[in-house]
Structure formats: C-alpha cells, structure tokens
Structure 1
C-alpha cells in the first residue's frame, strides 16, 4: 500500500514526506483564508511530491504565499528557488545567520572535528541560490497560522532554528533532533558544530508542546515532549 502524500499533524497543519520512509519532510500550515505557508522545501527534486501533498490537502502551489526555512541545507532549501518561481512568493524567510548561505546557494561548512565532516566538505554542498525576503532571529513570532515562534537551536548550522506553532502545540524540530528509526541528534557529518548541536537541542526539552514534528522521520503525537526529554536525558547519561 502506498503511503499518503500528506499526513495531518494537527488542524490545518500537514506533513508532506518528500523522500521515502519520511526521511525528509516539508510542513504545510493553512491559514483561515486558505493561504499556505511551507516550512522547508525539500530537495530540488521534491516539487512533484510537494504538489501531490498539497493536492491531497485540497491545495496547490498557487495557494502558497509564504516559505520559511529551518536552515540552509540542500535537503531543506534545495526546492526553494523553484517554488519561489512557481508561486510568485518574493523570497523565503530564514534566520539571519543562515541567510547569506541561502542567497549563495551553498551550505555552511561541516564540522572538521569528525572524519565524515571533513569528507563532506570535499563534496558539493550546493543548491539553487534562494532569494531571501525576510531574516528572523531567536524569539521572533512569525505571523503564520496564528503564530509560529522561532527558537534558535544552532549547531546543525549556525542559523538553524526550531519552530513552535503556538495554537496547536506542534514543535517543528528541524534537524536539531531526528526521528529516523529512533530519536537521535542525526548524522554528525551534516553538522556545522556537533557539540553545539547537542547542547542547543536541550532547548527542545524546555518548551511546551504536544506534538514533535521532525524534518527527518515521522512526527510523534503521543507524549512527544516526554519522549524528547527522555532522549536528551539518556544522551547526556551516555556522554558522562
């Protein structure tokens, strides 16, 4: 049986898997007037999956009026340039620290303290350059579907953010924590600063939310905050 093109996470909030097994997710927030905000855009090749997800929601790319990026990596920002062109949205919103990388179309450098990070720096970390219309910072509340608060969780990139949708209690973790097979900090080779990522992820244990929506892996709606806090606690214990 084929997987659905979009899954409802909360009222007017959908997860659109753009890679098999929910390995990469885009999130769609629907306003009362029907306009759609996308959080992340997947890879350059993700357009058809996004279109299919929107169609299942009864929407299309013509309804997309805002694009927010959690960070400037190709699997999150790679599809942004194409979507801007198709939707007519003037530019994306992204944290001010990652904005120059989005404009340049190149991910920040990877952590050279790991062998895989050094190896990743030798490869192409490019994606189509993106027009940035808005830069935000920690503590800002974006006017998305009743309020999307910005929580700076640097390390995966220096400008990486997690986003809390206040009306529904859904936390979009970005890549601060993954849920591929199990909760984890994700792949170290993808991080700009591995240790900082592990420290800043603890912000997610302090917030109040009912659903954890991961950009890698399926969302968790059953005792989500407790699951994240438990993972962080266990990860700390393993490092002692």
Structure 2
C-alpha cells in the first residue's frame, strides 16, 4: 500500500514522509497567506517526495519561503541544496551548525565509546553544501504560522534544535528524541556529545504541547508530553550513561 505523501497533524501543520511511512520525516507549516515553511529536507533523494508532499497539500515549491534545518546531518540537510534551488527560499540553521551545513558535512561524532570511534571512522556524513541565509538562536520565535519557537537541544549535534508551535501545541523534536520502537534518545554513536544530548532532552519535558512530531518515527497525537516525560523519568540521571 502506498504511503500518503503528506499527513496533516494539525491545522496548517503537516508531516511529509521522505523514507518509508515515517522512517525519515520532513515537516511543513502553512501560513494564512499560503506561504510554506519547510522543516528538514531528508536525504539527497528526498526532494521528489517533498515536492509530492507539497502537491498533496495543494502547494508548489514556489510557495516555500523558508527552509529550517533542525541540524546539519545528511538525513536532515541532504535535500536542502536542491530544495533551496527549487524554491529560492533561504535556509535557516542554528548558529552552531551553520559551518557544517555550509561545508556539507556532519559534526564530529562522540568518540567516548568504542562504537562511537568506529562510527566516526566510517565513510559518509557528507551532503551537498548549502548556503545559510539565517542563523538561529535559542528562544527565537520565527514568524511562521502564528509563531514557532526555536528550542536549543544540542548534543545530537552542536546546534541541534527542536521547534515548538504553541498555536497547535505541536513539538517537533528533530533528533533529540526518536519514536523508533518506542520513544527513545538518539543512539550514542550518532551524537556529537551524548551526555549533552541526554541533558538537553529534559528541556522538552518542561514545554507545553500535546502533539509530537518526530523526524524518525510516527507522531504521537495525544498525550505526547506525558509520553516524553514518562520516558525521561525512567532514564537514569542525565549525566550518567545508559
């Protein structure tokens, strides 16, 4: 069965699956004037699926006026250069990930464990470099769909962000938290600083939301905050490795 090219999460907020039904997701916010803000752009192979998702929403690449990356990894920024070319929209990234987006490479991975050192030696982590038009900061509220707040959640990458849309009580976690075989933190070898990732994930427990969109895994439509709070409460102290 074919997967829907776009799934409406709330009025004006959509998930666009770019790998499988929810293995890798992009998101889109639609403003009252019809303009679109795209969040994450998947792998380099993702743009056709993003364009199909936009079409399912009744939108065209020309409607996209901003592209926001939660962080500079190939499965989130791989399609950014192509989508920027098709849309003419500027790309926005947290200031600490700007150099990586512009160089088209992932930040160095956490080498504090043997698995991390192995992952760090593997080829990959490259994607088409993309000029960054806007450098984001923690707490910044983007003029998008009534206001989208930038929430710094570094650790998965130095400048990793999550996004909170207060109007619909929607949280987009980026890779701070996955929903793959249940709610969980990013695997340690994929992080630039796993201990920091564990600490900053707890920021998400204190925000006000109901609906959660994950860039890896399906959304939680009801009780999302409680699901994340419950998971974080079950983990050991943020400074202690699992």
Task: State whether TM-score is above 0.5.
Answer: yes
* SS in structure 2 at match of 1:34: coil
Structure 1 residues 157-205: Cα deviation after superposition (integer angstroms, max 9, x where no partner): 0100111012111000010000012111022211001111011100000
Instruction: Give me the whole-angstrom Cα distance separating, in 1, the residues matched to 2:170 and 2:70.
Output: 15
2:115 maps to 116
* SS in structure 2 at match of 1:22: coil
Deviating runs (4+, > 6 A) in structure 1? 237-240
* SS in structure 2 at match of 1:53: helix
1:189 maps to 189
Number of residue equivalences: 239
Instruction: Give me the whole-angstrom Cα distance separating, in 1, the residues matched to 2:88 and 2:52.
Output: 19
Structure 1 residues 110-169: Cα deviation after superposition (integer angstroms, max 9, x where no partner): 000122321222222111001100101111101111101011101000100111012111
1:106 maps to 105
* 1:217 and 2:214 matched: no
1:180 maps to 180
Structure 1 residues 77-116: Cα deviation after superposition (integer angstroms, max 9, x where no partner): 1100001111112x31110000011011111000001223
* SS in structure 2 at match of 1:9: strand
1:206 maps to 206
Alignment RMSD, CA only?
1.4
2:22 maps to 22
8 Å contact 2:156–2:186 — kept in the other structure?
no
1:156 maps to 156
Residue 51 of structure 1 and its aligned partner are, at CA, apart by 1.2
* 1:69 and 2:69 matched: yes
**What runs of 5+ residues in structure 1 fail to find an aligned partner?**
none
2:132 maps to 132
* SS in structure 2 at match of 1:212: strand
Residue 239 of structure 1 and its aligned partner are, at CA, apart by 6.3
* 1:13 and 2:19 matched: no
TM-score (normalised: structure 1):
0.96
Instruction: Give me the whole-angstrom Cα distance separating, in 2, the residues matched to 1:36 and 1:118.
Output: 40
* SS in structure 2 at match of 1:85: helix
Instruction: Give me the whole-angstrom Cα distance separating, in 2, the residues matched to 1:164 and 1:115.
Output: 35
Structure 1, 47-56 or 224-233: larger mean CA deviation: 47-56
Instruction: Give me the whole-angstrom Cα distance separating, in 1, the residues matched to 2:113 and 2:50.
Output: 34
* SS in structure 2 at match of 1:145: coil
* SS in structure 1 at match of 2:139: coil
* SS in structure 2 at match of 1:98: helix
Structure 1 residues 191-224: Cα deviation after superposition (integer angstroms, max 9, x where no partner): 0011110111000000000111111101101111
8 Å contact 2:111–2:117 — kept in the other structure?
yes
